[in-house]
Every structure is written in structure tokens, then in C-alpha cells.
Structure 1
Amino acid sequence: MPRNPSTGVYSKPAGTTPSVGQIIDPAPWNQLTSDLGNEITNSLPRDGSAPMVAPIKAASGTVSAPGVGFASNPQTGIYLKGGGLLGFTQNGVDVTFDKGMVYAAKSGDYTALASDDNAVHRFTAAATLTLTAAATLGANWHYVAIADGGDVTIDPNGSETIDGAATLVVPNGYSAFIICSGSAFFTNKVLTRLVAKADSSAVGSFVDGLTLSNNTGSPNTHVDFAAGSARSGSLFVSSAGSFTKRINGTWAVGTGSGGLDAGSVAANASYFAYALRKTADGTFDVVFSTSATIGGVTTTLLTGYSIVKCIGGVLTDGSSNIRQFTMNPRDDYTFTSPVKDAVNAAISTTSALLALTVLNGVKAKAKVRFEFTSSATTNAALLSDPAQGSLTSGIGGDGANVGTIQVASGFAVSSQEIWTNTSRQIRYVAGASGNLWVWTDGFIFPCGRNA
């Protein structure tokens, strides 16, 4: 072949450049015509009627003069970058294409590498995502972390930051798009705005539904919770149907299971019911505790759950059975059988404290009825909130709420709702000596229900 395969330059065979009057030798001329026919055959038709049968070898070109361009726009096309990389240019400007996206599931802690550029990793459990040094990952490195089973904490290398902070928590159910600048990390702020929106819409604390009642089949040991929801700040949980917990067993997952955070059921005790949210899927559960605060609940058995809010309470009697009750709107409890908390108790001009059958450890509004007798006529009694201090009974003092004795040793009766202190107590005092009977019909323990 007279065409040089390296340079593509065609050279005629020798003896094919005749002079005037020279007799033409057919051999070289036949070779020439044969070569020309072959080269025409090996040429690519401009009309595209035939394809190439071997790779096209284009010039390397540059970003402003690509090796493969277009007649109408020679600055748009393909060129060879340094390092043997393929480059694309558009109007003389380099066009960058992303790497292929790679998906993987992660069940625990992970360190993101340079090879994870444009990766999408779904974390199926709570985990820490450690980022390799930004200088190593390089500018434009990017990555998506999906929290789908627990919160994911993103921890940059050393003192490097993400969105200006030392770490970033991706809450369960959210995702974050992470970008490296070569010296620090940033997100596209979508997560920040979503979390901020969720927080702003989650402000406040309430209980809707979730009313308590004695279980029909096992009223002494089991408590039913109606469908409803509870929120405290950003924590929210709901139950689509009735849910049951028993107070005579330690806590276990699910309706009908034990509900105590620790120990065993005791006599004459207070048990507070707390709504739980499972971190992994947001499902509802309940735990009972003698603690009047979330901070005091024993959480040993509650791994994987968050305590959302107190949603009510129950009392046990001397036999460690749940006192029968009816729960009315606005966190109002009425005992099926009134409790006698004072029987013929001595009352005098000295103020004293009386413990009632209400929840211990919190202030509750006791629903009480009184009966008062005294040998002194014009004598009256005053029962009050201990927060008011020691009061004096009578028209010359702080008044009364049990009627004046009109006949010596006669009876006066009354009823009232009175706030207790956190030790279940109210104060009582009279204008003169006498005796007092007190019945507790129930109590109001505010948990945030408006209905």
C-alpha cells in the first residue's frame, strides 16, 4: 500500500510520472489505478452510505479546537485531555460529566472514601459516617447519605467542618447531599430546611385521645389506651387503634405485654403512663413508671425507644390492684368507688396536712367532699391548697368552704376541687375543735388534653 498507515500520506508508485512522448509501462500504471481504487474504497463516503470498518483516529485537539468537531461550530466536539481522558467541549468550554451513581446499603458505621464519589448509601441502622480528609477527597466530590433505620451522624476528618459545624446529624427518615470543597464539606441545605420546618410545626406539647380505662377483661391489672397521638417538642407518636398494657409485669414490646419500667407492682402506689416512640419506625408503645418525670424513668428495657410524653396515670389499692376509674375529658379521673381519706379526723385551729388518694409526685386537683362536725356553734372549716400556706378559718380570717355549724354537734357538708402539693396533701383548719371526714372522688392530672 503506497498510503503510510501512520501518517495517512499517499505516495504514487514509482514509474507513474511519465514525460511527453514516453511509452507508458502498464505494470506501474495498473498498480496506480489499483491503489487509487482501493483507497477510494477505504475512504468514508461523505453521504454516510457506508460505515467505517476500523476505529477512527482523530487528532487529539484542544478544548477550543477539538479533534472531532462540526463544520458549523468547530469549537464544539470531542478532544483528548491530559492523562488520556476524553474531553467534551461546547463552544470552546469544557463540559464535565458525572461518574456513574453507585448505591449500597450500610448497616453500621462507615468511612466515606474517594471512590465513593457520587455514591448513594442507605444506612439501615443508627451509624456514624466518617468523612475522609477533604484534601484527599478533592473538590467536587459528592455523596448522598440516607438515614433509614436510625439517625446518622456525619463526622468530618479532624477539625474539618460540615456546614460550619463539627458534625451533622441526619435524622431517621431524612437524607443529606454532601459536597466537598477540597478543604471543608457542605450540604445543599435541603435537610436543614426540612428539619427546621418539622421543628417549627412541632412546637408545643399535647395529647389527643389516648384516654385511659380499665381493661374490661382484666380491670385489676390491665389498662387500655384509646387511639390518639402525643407530641412534645419535635417528638411525635400516634396509635391508630386501642392499645393495652398490664401493670403486673416488666415492660415488653407490644399491646397486652408488661408495662413496668422496673420492679414489680406495689400496693397504694402511683404509676405514670408514658407514650413511647420506636426510633426505627415510629411505632407506638407505653411504659409505666413510679417516676413523675421522664428523667426518672428506668430506660434499661427501652433500648431503641424515645419517651415522648406523660399521657396519664393510675393508682393501685392495698391489694396492688388498679383502682377502678373513669377518665373524663380534659384529664379528669373519677373513681368508681370514692375513697375515704379522713374518718373522724380531729381538726382544730392549728393548720395541718392531709394526704389524699391522688397521684404522688405531682400536683393534682383533687375532687373532694367533706363532712364536718363540732360542738361549737358558728364553727366552720377551711380546706385549701398547701401553696397558700397556713390559713385561718372563719369570717375574721381566711373564710371557710365547709358550712358553719348551726347546732352544737351538728354536721356541715361541702365539696370542692383543691390542688394538692407533690406529696398528695391538702391543708385543713377550723375555727374551733371538731372532727372531719373527707371523701376523694378522683382527681385532675393535666397532661395536655383539650377534649
Structure 2
Amino acid sequence: MPRNPSTGVYSKPAGTTPSVGQVIDPVPWNALTTDLGNEITNSLPRDGSAPMVAPLKAAGGTVSAPGVGFASTPQTGLYLKGGGLLGFTQNGVDVAFDRASVYAAKSGDYTALASDDNAVHRFTAAATLTLSAAATLGANWHYCVIADGGDVTIDPNGAETIDGAATLVVPNGYSTFIVCSGTAFFTDKVIAKIQAKSEINNVVGCETVYVSSTSIQIKTGNVFFNAKNVVYASALTKSLSGTFTAGNNGGFLDTGVMQASKTYFVHSVRNLTTGAGDWVASLQSSSALVSTTNLAGWEVAGRVNVMLTTSGNVIRQYVQEGNEYRIVGTLVTEVSGAGWAPADFQFICLPVGISTEANLNLVNGQAGNSSGALVVYTDTVSQFSTQLSVNVVSAHESRIAGKVRTRSTGILKSQATETVGSGTFSIQVLGFNDYTVPRMNGA
């Protein structure tokens, strides 16, 4: 073909340059016109009426003079970078593009490398992510961490920091985006925001259900305490007859043995490796005071429920809905008599060691031509009190349900006073509201 395929230079066929007066030989002349027609056909129409049918080969160009540019703005276009890489330039300035995002799952400790730029790594177990030196990774290096099976501890190189700290823990179930400045590391601050709002704890579901004299079941739900979420996809039955063992029908106590006439506090616990949840019962209302002797590999998240044992050393039966506990069976008369002076009472059907909102049944029975009043309150009569006054000509008994908060110890104050005549007074517990638990589905 007359057009050189390497240079694109066209050379007409030999014998097609006539002289004056020479008779044109039709053979070479026809070959010339045919060849010209072919080359015109093989040329790219400027009006765009036909496409290329083979690769377009452009000059390599430079950042200031791209191989493929625009007539109106010749410094904007495409050029060939070193190493065979494609470059883009705008007004003579190189345009940087992100690397393709690459996903990978990690099941253990890992060291992030320069080649992990723009990578998304999902950690399926508790792990330590070590970051290579910031100078090695370079400015603008970035990386996404997903903790999906355990906490991931991010540990920068040497004395380098991440968000100004030596390490950063990504709790199981969360993720963070890391960027390198060339000297230090920074994140999108999502974890910091979660930690800053860690006081906004909440519980969904997870109520108790009576199973037997020594066992209860805790329903499904989730617990969010101190910026960590624990999901309970299945109900778990736990037994007070033994110390803690993980799983359904496992032991329940943090330490010791089941005791009579006690208040047990049910705490959510979280496995440090898997993030799985379980439950432990303790005589301590504060999670910080729960014994960890039998909780190796677990952390105590927070208190969720409460349960009481009777003098016969069996679990007292309640029906729990949200934070409301209602006594099942015959009501217990906590105190009764013809009257009493102001005094403190620790009712056996109310928790000891925490403040709850007691739901009480007040009974005031008066003989004919008698008058008396029964009052229950927290500290003083004028605050958080409920009362029942009866003034009758004929003998009569009145009952009323009232609510009053106990003190932080669980104690209430009460007095029953006969003004005229004679009568009897009594107080029964209908149940209580464990209002200090931040349960979202009923308080």
C-alpha cells in the first residue's frame, strides 16, 4: 500500500507522473485513482460521519503539550506518563485520580502497606492493624477498616499518631476511614463521635422470663453501652445454680453461690474476641464492681435487668415488660398494723441497692366514726409520695395503687396515723419500674 503504515506518509504508485504530450497509460493511472480512493476512504472524516476501525495512535505528549488535546485549549488532554501510564492534564497541570478500590477480608493481624492505598479491608476477628511509616505510605494514602468479628486496634508506626493518639480501637460492628498526611494519620472521626456520645447508652428488648426456681431466660435484643453494641439474636437461658459459663443453659453467677433474699443484677457481657454477647448475674449493681474471676475473655458492658430471690432461695416470679416488673401470684403484705410512726422500710419485693419506682397497693380499713391516713414517700412527705386517707361514719376499707421512688438503697419511708377511732393499715408491692436502665422499648 502506498501509505506507509508506520509513518502515515503517502507515496503515489510508480509510473503515474506523466510528461507534457505523453499519452496516459490507463493501467498505472487507474491504479493511482483507485489507490487515492482507498486512502480517502481510510482517512478519518473531520465531520465525524464515520468512526475509526483500528486503534488511534497518538503522540506521547507531555503534561504541558498532551498527545491528544483540543484546538481551543491545547494544554488540556491526554498524554503518556512514564512507565506506560496514562496521564490527564488540565491547562498544563496533571490531574490525579484515585486508585481502584480493592476489597479483602483479613482474619488476623495485618500490616498496611503502600500498595493498600484505597483498599477496603474487612477484619473478621479481633486484630491489630499496624500502619507502615507515614513517610513510606506518603501523603494522601488512604484506607478503610471494617471491624466485623472483633475489635480492631490501629497501631501507627513507632511514635506516629492517629487522630493525635498512639492507637485507635475500632469496635466490632463499626468502620473508619484513615488518611495519611505523610507524617501522621487521621480518620473521619466517626469513632470519636461515637465515643463522645457513649453516655447515650440504650437497651432494646432483652427482658427476663421466669423459667424455673433457679433459671431465667433473657429475650433477644441489643445492648449499646460505652460505644459498643452487643446483639442478642437468640434468647439465652441462664442458671443461678452455677458460676458463669458461656452459652444457652450456662451458669449465671459472676462468683459464689445462689443466696436467699438477695437482689441480683443482670449485666450484659461481651466476648473480646468475637463480640458475641452473654449474661452474668451479680450482687453488684455497678458493672465496674462485677467480679471477673470467671469472665476471662469477656468484658462487662452494662446492667440491663434485675432479679430477686426469696427467703426460700428461689427466684421470685415477675412478668417483665420493658422496665416494668409485675409480681406473679399472691401479693406479699410488706407491713401492716394499727399505725406506725415515720420509719424506713426495705420491702422484700423491691430491689436492694438501686432506686426504682415502686408500684404499691395501699390498704386503709377504718371502723365506724374513724379517720386515718397512710403515707409512703422517698425522703420527705412533700416529695415523691403517695397516700390514702379515709374518714368514715360506717366501717370501710379502701385500696389504692400508688407509685413512689425508692432511695438509691431501695429503702422507702412510711407512716400510718389514726386521727379518730381505730383502723388497720397495710402495704403490698404490685411491682416496680427499673427506671435507671436506658431501655428504649418501655421505661
Settle same-fold status: TM greater than 0.5: yes
Displacement after TM superposition at 1:388 (Å) = 1.6
* CA–CA separation in structure 2 for the residues paired with 1:121 and 1:256: 36
**Over residues 38-79 of structure 1, what are the superposed CA-to-partner deviations in whole Å (9 max), with x where a residue is unaligned?**
xxxxxxxxx9xxxxxxxxxxxxx995699xx79999996657
The residue identity in structure 1 corresponding to 2:410 is R
Q: 2:320 aligns to what?
A: 327
1:356 maps to 2:341: no
Q: 2:30 aligns to what?
A: none
Q: 2:106 aligns to what?
A: 105
| 2:153 aligned counterpart, secondary structure | strand
Q: 1:29 aligns to what?
A: none
Q: 1:247 aligns with which of 240, 243, 247?
A: 240
Contact 1:120/1:143, CA 8 A, preserved across alignment: yes
Displacement after TM superposition at 1:313 (Å) = 1.9
Q: 1:263 aligns with which of 245, 256, 262?
A: 256
| 2:344 aligned counterpart, secondary structure | strand
* CA–CA separation in structure 1 for the residues paired with 2:281 and 2:369: 49
Contact 1:327/1:334, CA 8 A, preserved across alignment: no
Contact 1:371/1:411, CA 8 A, preserved across alignment: no
Q: 1:403 aligns with which of 390, 393, 409?
A: 390
* CA–CA separation in structure 2 for the residues paired with 1:386 and 1:411: 28
- TM-score (structure 1 length as normaliser): 0.63
Contact 1:268/1:315, CA 8 A, preserved across alignment: yes
Contact 2:318/2:325, CA 8 A, preserved across alignment: no
* CA–CA separation in structure 1 for the residues paired with 2:95 and 2:312: 81
Query: Pairwise mapping of residues 282-361 of structure 1 onto structure 2 (< 5 A)?
Result: 283-303=276-296, 305=298, 307-327=300-320, 331-342=324-335, 344=337, 347-348=339-340, 350-357=341-348, 358-361=350-353
The residue identity in structure 2 corresponding to 1:340 is T
Q: 1:212 aligns with which of 203, 208, 217?
A: 208
* CA–CA separation in structure 2 for the residues paired with 1:117 and 1:237: 32
| 1:183 aligned counterpart, secondary structure | coil
Contact 2:161/2:167, CA 8 A, preserved across alignment: yes
Displacement after TM superposition at 1:146 (Å) = 3.9
* CA–CA separation in structure 1 for the residues paired with 2:63 and 2:397: 106
Q: 1:366 aligns to what?
A: 358
Q: Give the number of aligned pairs.
A: 369
Report the structure number with the largest CA radius of gyration. 1
Report % sequence identity: 35
* CA–CA separation in structure 2 for the residues paired with 1:77 and 1:295: 64
Displacement after TM superposition at 1:240 (Å) = 4.4
Displacement after TM superposition at 1:268 (Å) = 0.5
Contact 2:366/2:390, CA 8 A, preserved across alignment: no
Q: 2:413 aligns to what?
A: 427
**Residues 1:385 and 1:138: Cα distance change in structure 2 (over 3 Å):** same
The residue identity in structure 1 corresponding to 2:390 is G
Unaligned runs of 5+ in 2: 1-41, 43-59
The residue identity in structure 2 corresponding to 1:354 is F
* CA–CA separation in structure 2 for the residues paired with 1:71 and 1:232: 59
Contact 1:126/1:151, CA 8 A, preserved across alignment: yes
1:153 maps to 2:149: no
* CA–CA separation in structure 2 for the residues paired with 1:323 and 1:71: 84
1:385 maps to 2:381: no
**Residues 1:300 and 1:93: Cα distance change in structure 2 (over 3 Å):** same
Contact 2:366/2:397, CA 8 A, preserved across alignment: no
Contact 1:113/1:137, CA 8 A, preserved across alignment: yes
**Residues 1:326 and 1:175: Cα distance change in structure 2 (over 3 Å):** closer
The residue identity in structure 1 corresponding to 2:388 is N
The residue identity in structure 2 corresponding to 1:183 is T
**Residues 1:293 and 1:64: Cα distance change in structure 2 (over 3 Å):** closer
Contact 2:376/2:386, CA 8 A, preserved across alignment: no
Displacement after TM superposition at 1:380 (Å) = 1.9
**Residues 1:159 and 1:94: Cα distance change in structure 2 (over 3 Å):** same
**Over residues 367-395 of structure 1, what are the superposed CA-to-partner deviations in whole Å (9 max), with x where a residue is unaligned?**
3345567999745243321322699xxxx
* CA–CA separation in structure 2 for the residues paired with 1:93 and 1:399: 79
| 2:288 aligned counterpart, secondary structure | helix
**Residues 1:406 and 1:424: Cα distance change in structure 2 (over 3 Å):** farther
Contact 1:88/1:96, CA 8 A, preserved across alignment: no
| 1:244 aligned counterpart, secondary structure | strand
| 2:135 aligned counterpart, secondary structure | helix
* CA–CA separation in structure 2 for the residues paired with 1:364 and 1:101: 53
Contact 1:172/1:280, CA 8 A, preserved across alignment: no
* CA–CA separation in structure 1 for the residues paired with 2:318 and 2:101: 64
Cα RMSD after superposing both structures: 4.7
Unaligned runs of 5+ in 1: 1-46, 48-60, 392-397
Displacement after TM superposition at 1:118 (Å) = 6.5
* CA–CA separation in structure 2 for the residues paired with 1:71 and 1:325: 80
**Residues 1:111 and 1:416: Cα distance change in structure 2 (over 3 Å):** same
Contact 2:416/2:425, CA 8 A, preserved across alignment: no
| 2:258 aligned counterpart, secondary structure | coil
Deviates more, 1:119-128 or 1:264-273: 119-128
The residue identity in structure 2 corresponding to 1:214 is Y
